[in-house]
Amino acid sequence: MQWTPGSTVSSVGHGALLVWLIMGWGFDSEPLPFDVSDVSIVTSEEYAAIVSATTPAPSENAPDAPVAPAVETAPDTPVAEPETAPPPPPDPVAPPAADAPPPPAPDALPVPPDTQAPVEPGPPQDEVVNAPNVSDSDRVIPRPSARVMAQPVAPPPPDAAPDEVVRQEAAPAPAPDAPVVEEAQEETAPEEAATEIVTEAEAPSGRVTETPRPPQRPNRPTPAPALEPETELAEETPEPEPEPAPQTDEDAIAAALAAAAAVEAPAEPALTPGPPMTGAEQEGFRVAVNACWNVDPGSQAAMVTMTVAFDLDQGGRVQGDVRQVGAMGGDANATEIAFQAARRAILRCQGQGGYDLPAEKYDQWKEVEITFDPSGMRLR
Amino acid sequence: MHMMTKIALIGLALATSACTRPDRFGGTDPIGTNPVAGQNAGGVSGGVSDPRSPQYFQQTVGDRVLFAVDTSTLSPQGIATLDGQANWLQTNADYLAIIEGHADEQGTREYNLALGARRANAVREYLMSKGIPSNRLRTVSYGKERPIEVCSNEACYAKNRRAVTVISIGQLS
Amino acid sequence: MTLKAVVIAGLVALASLGSALPALAQGGPLRLTITDGVIEPLPFAVPVFTAETAGAEGLAADISNLVAQDLTGTGLFREIPASAFISQMGPFGTPPSYPDWRAINAQAVIAGAVAVNGNQLTVKFRLYDIFTGAELGEGLQFAGTTQGWRRMAHKVADAAYSRITGELGYFDSRVVFVSEAGPKDNRQKRLAIMDYDGANVQFLTDSSSLVLAPRFSPDGNRVLYTSYESGFPRINILDVGSVTSRQLDTAPGEMAFSPRFSRDGSRVIYSLANGGNTDLYIGDIASGASTRLTSAPSIETAPSFSPDGSQIVFESDRSGGSQLYIMPVNGGEPRRISFGDGRYGTPVWSPRGDLVAFTKQNAGRFHIGVMRTDGSEERLLTSSFLDEGPTWSPNGRVLMFTRETQGAEGTSQLYSVDISGRNLKPVDLVGGASDPSWGPLQP
């Protein structure tokens, strides 16, 4: 059975390499015209040998895999920050808004070559890239095509042709990268989507329809009931902060969720440093991270509810790295992919200026814990 | 001499089936209102007017019965046709029959194959109940693979949901 | 003190400690929950692979194009066109200029080099994660012949896909199907095999007799199919390498059809019709011995094994309309899993084991859908005049199926769709085609 060894790729790197090695051995027995004789890892030494053997190319081409990236990264990161910082349009809340204006050429991404650092938050042609902690070229403007997002970009077209697809072209710009689909017959993939994945089969019904995001917080327990048991335990302390810590590891996530609900609720935590963050302030933060959390709902990683923690400096920028503090569902491989997606979301969406958070309430948000729960988005 | 007869019969059977096979699923004349070209070349005496001819069986007796959607129940009209087929097969005891079951295109390939088998069997059992020996009757299902009408609406579907009795002179197996 | 009491005491202690912590931490971390991300293709770039020998330029371009095409075709990735590139790649092995790629929002860059010596082809590639500014995995090299360039490109794409998504790819795989020609009332059918993307079509049979529903063996070396060669439906088994076939021994019956291999390839499960009644049988391919699995007056057909081989899912109209059922391979009571409106057929168990794909017929439309093996979470992915017969990609991510258009001019085509319901598209094939069966990732 070729297709079930999930464990074979348990580690994306080495697992894949093992598979490839096996493939290499198998090639000889392949009866088809394809007669691959060898597959191997290219080490720098081997590579140098190969290059010099197959081509007269100078061997300085030989890569220094381990070293190169490291060297590259180091200068990159620090330099990036100042260089990109110039016009600090700290507008993390902007992305959703910026999403609406139709981009000119969807696929073009024609960032002028001279614009080394596209600090310009203006023409939102491209989407935000993953970047290291200090991102330079990042922009908080999500690309408005070929995507499904929480905020509806445009009303779904009526189910006009009963015979055919419910083809949601909600995004203002046509999908750039679905040419095949687009020109293919009447029935194309519901590529451009809005608030939800709309399959061809779905007119009014279908499970994925659950995905669309209600204006406020979906799928979350209502603050009140969630708080109930917690406050009971916490009663003895004078701490009005409606945020009890998890009792056990098992409960960690549940408690975190409840706590999140509590925090998100327009609660009145009257104590502690500074005034509490308002619901709007938290919502803005949440939406900002939302926009960069790219979920592949068909993947195993979409089975994982991932909780990560990180620290912010006074400017709303991530300090240090993003840490995984909890994960539920999925195997190790899926968990890793889910963590990367969560980490990427947080780092990408801080933009150049950091998250837009009320400075006077820094103590409220200098530490952040975010739970990414794809259960409403995934298929299974 | 006996041997010669056998050989001749086999030859006839081959000729007949060779002639009928390509046409029996369709073309523009599914019901066979025109004599099938070349049919007479088989040497079996002639034409629709001859009550012993396959053409007579096809057109006068009627070689097919139709079914309602997703059923294999014989209709009164179908039973009348099969009564005629049974009489004819009684009279012409040297003919074998293969009963082909068909379905319309609404349905999966596998299910329609099974449904066609049901329909063919319904016909076979009825003919057996009328005294035709089971070893003269075979069944086969084509599911939705051999429509005679190609439109995608009920007018065509009704004609495609059918069981067709295809006769040939041959040996009892 | 009972153990229970100890546990409770511990919990209480933890709870009070926990509630004290926020005060120490001045409120503790801000906790948020995010439930709505975005779903969008990941942007990547494949600069044209470096030609390291004279004359390799053409293949280098072809291979890099095909790698990009494979990835883009999943719907999970979006290729950034070369016209947007700020900087070009240096000689193979030189790390990319990360800021330049970040600036155009590339999240992954695939660099490669191609060398040709006679008909020997060598392809190397490296995958760079622009986000982390490092290589993702190590470089790989493939060697083969120039004729096999497409497979080598597929392997590069599979490796990139696997490293980025954490799941196996499916590009270097083949599909066996029925090639169709001629009008609806005189359709010629023959078995054919193709690459997953419709390239390299080869015929396995002629069209002298009707053939239906081929099924790949798990190793991709053999094919089971239904043939009318004898005048009656029988199951044939074909060796792909030698393109020779023979009729399989089955239990005696009027017709045998709808075969499928067991997961170890040694057995075949199939439908046998006798006296108009269709039931399921399982047979040993080597010995030809068969065992009957169901004995009901209803139709039982379209069986498919679970990945562990212990169960089968099939369709039956025992309740009236056709529905899906699961039962142990060794016999036992079938358990119905489909309960929605309409009729269900052609169930296929996913390679991951968690889902069943099926054909659904309801209110005059056909759908390809998936549900969990307990029947929950049914989702319909497509809708058309006639969709049927899904088959899983080897990694369980994509379904390929037959779509037939209506009317006198109606034709069949192969389509594929991501299990999220996105990325529905026709397979690029000339001529009609039906009944796809997706083979394994090739060794």
pLDDT per position as a tens digit, B61-72 = 999 999 999 999
- Mean pLDDT on C66-80: 97
Contact C315 B110 (CB under 8 A): yes
In this structure, what token pair is assigned to residue B172?
């009892």
CA distance B121 to B116: 8
Tell me the average pLDDT of chain A.
53
Whether the predicted pLDDT of A46 surpasses 60: no
Q: Give contacts of A318 with chain C, Cβ < 8 Å.
A: none
Model pLDDT for residues B6-56, shown as the tens digit of each residue: 544 444 444 444 333 433 443 333 333 333 333 443 444 567 888 989 999
Q: Indicate yes or no: CB of A37 within 8 angstroms of CB of C14.
A: no
Pairing state between β A367-372 and C30-34? parallel
Chain B nearest-CA distance from C373, in A, is 21
Say whether C299 and B141 touch across the interface (CB within 8 A): no
Residue A59 has pLDDT above 50, yes or no: no
Start-to-end CA span in chain B (Å): 21
**Greater model confidence, C37 or A187:** C37
Taking contacts as CB-CB distances below 8 angstroms, the residues of chain B near C343 are 107
**Residues of B whose CB is below 8 A from C260:** none
Closest listed residue to residue C175, CA positions, set C157, C198, C148: C198
Residue of C nearest to A198 (CA): C421
Task: Output the 3-class SS for chain C.
Answer: CCHHHHHHHHHHHHHHHHHHHHHHCCCCCEEEEECCCEECCEEEECCCCEECCCCCHHHHHHHHHHHHHHHHHCCCEEECCHHHCCCCCCCCCCCCCHHHHHHCCCCEEEEEEEEEECCEEEEEEEEEECCCCEECCCCEEEEEEHHHHHHHHHHHHHHHHHHHHCCCCCCCEEEEEEEEECCHHHCEEEEEEEECCCCCCEECCCCCCCEEEEEECCCCCEEEEEECCCCCCEEEEEECCCCEEEECCCCCCCEEEEEEECCCCCEEEEEEEECCEEEEEEEECCCCCEEECCCCCCCEEEEEECCCCCEEEEEECCCCCCEEEEEECCCCCCEECCCCCCEEEEEEECCCCCEEEEEEEECCEEEEEEEECCCCCCEECCCECEEEEEEECCCCCEEEEEEECCCCCCCEEEEEEECCCCCCEECCCCCEEEEEEEEEECC
Residues 16-45 on A with a CB inside 8 Å of C are 16-17, 19-20, 22-23, 26-27, 29-44
pLDDT given at position C31: 92
Residue C415: which of C377, C440, C386, C380 has the closest Cα? C386
Query: For residue range A338-349, what is the model confidence (pLDDT) as tens digits?
Result: 998 898 888 878
Superfamily for domain range C175-441: TolB, C-terminal domain (2.120.10.30)
Which residue, C193, C150, C153, C154, is CA-closest to C170? C154
Q: Does residue C354 sit at the A interface (CB-CB below 8 Å)?
A: yes
Burial class (CB in 10 A: 0-12, 13-18, 19+), A25: exposed
Q: Is A309 on the interface with C (CB under 8 A)?
A: yes
CB within 8 Å: A142 and C38:
yes
Sequence ranges of the domains in chain B: 51-173
Q: Tell me the chain C residues in contact with residue B173 when contact means C-beta distances shorter than 8 Å.
A: none
Would you say residue B137 has pLDDT above 50?
yes
Q: Which residues of A are less than 8 Å from C135 in CB distance? A: 65, 68-69
List CB contacts (< 8 A) between C277 and chain B: 117-118, 121
Calculate the alpha carbon distances from C1 to B15, C6, C13 in Å: 97, 7, 16
Distance in angstroms (rounded) separating the CA atoms of residues A225 and A240: 17
DSSP strands (E only) in chain A: 38-41, 305-312, 318-328, 367-372
Query: Within 13 Å of residue C270, how many CA atoms lie on the same side as its CB?
Result: 35
Residue C35 has pLDDT above 70, yes or no: yes
Which residue in C has a C-alpha nearest to residue B153's C-alpha?
A: C407
Contacts of C386 in chain B (CB under 8 A): 105-106
- Whether residue B1 has pLDDT greater than 50: no
Q: What is the mean pLDDT of residues A164-173?
A: 34
A–C contact: 3+ Cβ pairs < 8 A: yes
Average pLDDT over residues A267-278: 59
Chain-centre distance for alpha carbon A351? 14
Domain boundaries along the sequence of chain C: 4-165, 175-441
Cα C2 → chain centroid: 54
Q: pLDDT band for position A203 (50/70/90)?
A: low
Give chain B's contact residues with C (Cβ, < 8 Å). Answer: 25-27, 72, 98, 105-111, 113-115, 117-122, 124-125, 138-142, 145-152
Distance (Å, whole) CA A163 – CA A331: 41
Chains A and B touch (3+ CB pairs under 8 A): no
CA angle, residues A232, A238, A239, in degrees to nearest 5: 80
Kindly tell me if the per-residue pLDDT of C308 is higher than 50: yes
B contacts of C407 (beta carbons < 8 Å): 150-152
The whole-number average pLDDT for the span C149-166 is 94
Q: In the prediction, which pLDDT does C131 show?
A: 72
Q: How many CB atoms lie within 10 A of CB B68?
A: 10
| Interchain pair C254, B118: CB under 8 A | no
What are the chain B neighbours of C254 within 8 Å (beta carbons)? 117, 138-140
- Tell me which residue in C185, C277, C385 faces B26 most closely, judged by beta carbons: C185
Residue A332, pLDDT > 90, answer no
From chain C residues 33-52, the ones with a CB under 8 A of any chain A CB are 33-43, 52
Average the pLDDT over A265-275 and give the result. 49
pLDDT level of residue A377 (50, 70, 90 thresholds): confident
Whether C84 has its CB under 8 Å from any CB of chain A: the answer is yes
pLDDT for A149? 57
**CATH architecture designation of domain B51-173:** 2-Layer Sandwich (3.30)
Mean pLDDT over the full length of chain B: 80
CB contact under 8 A, C233 and B141: yes
What is the reported pLDDT for A345?
A: 86
C133 contacts A132? CB cut-off 8 A? yes
> Is the pLDDT assigned to residue A187 strictly greater than 50?
no
The pLDDT score that the predictor gives to residue A148 is: 57
Q: Which residue of C has its CA nearest to B147?
A: C185
Task: Specify the pLDDT at position A331.
Answer: 86
Q: Which of A100-109, A255-264, C420-429 has the highest mean predicted lDDT (pLDDT)? A: C420-429
Task: Tell me if A301 and C166 make a contact (CB, 8 A cut-off).
Answer: yes
Higher pLDDT, A91 or B172: B172
- Inter-chain residue contact C278 with B114, CB threshold 8 Å: yes
SS3 content of chain A, % helix, strand, coil (to 5): 35, 10, 55
Only one residue has tokens 């995004």, namely: A171
How far apart CA C95 and CA A357 sit, in angstroms, is: 37
For C4-165, CATH number? 3.40.50.10070
Q: Nearest-5° angle of CA C116, CA C119, CA C123?
A: 40
Q: How far apart are CA C391 and CA A367, in angstroms?
A: 48
Closest CA to C282 of C235, C322, C334: C235
In degrees and rounded to multiples of 5, residue A321 shows phi and psi of -105, 170
Q: How far is CA A19 from the centre of its chain?
A: 28
**Residue closest to C401 by CA, chosen among C183, C213, C168:** C213
Dist CA A280 CA C73 (whole Å): 40
% chain A with pLDDT above 70: 28
Spatial separation of the C-alpha atoms in residues A341 and A292, rounded to whole Å:
9
What would the pLDDT profile of C326-378 be if each residue is shown by its tens digit?
999 988 899 999 999 999 999 999 999 999 999 999 999 999 999 999 999 99
Here the ipTM equals 0.89
Q: How many CB pairs under 8 A join B and C?
A: 113
Q: Which of C190, C225, C226, C255 to mutate to test the interface with B (most CBs of B within 10 A)?
A: C255
Q: What is the 3-state secondary structure (H, E, C) of B44-92?
A: CCCCCCCCCCHHHHHHHHHCEEECCCCCCCCCHHHHHHHHHHHHHHHHC
State how far residue C395 is from chain A, nearest Cα, in angstroms.
Answer: 5
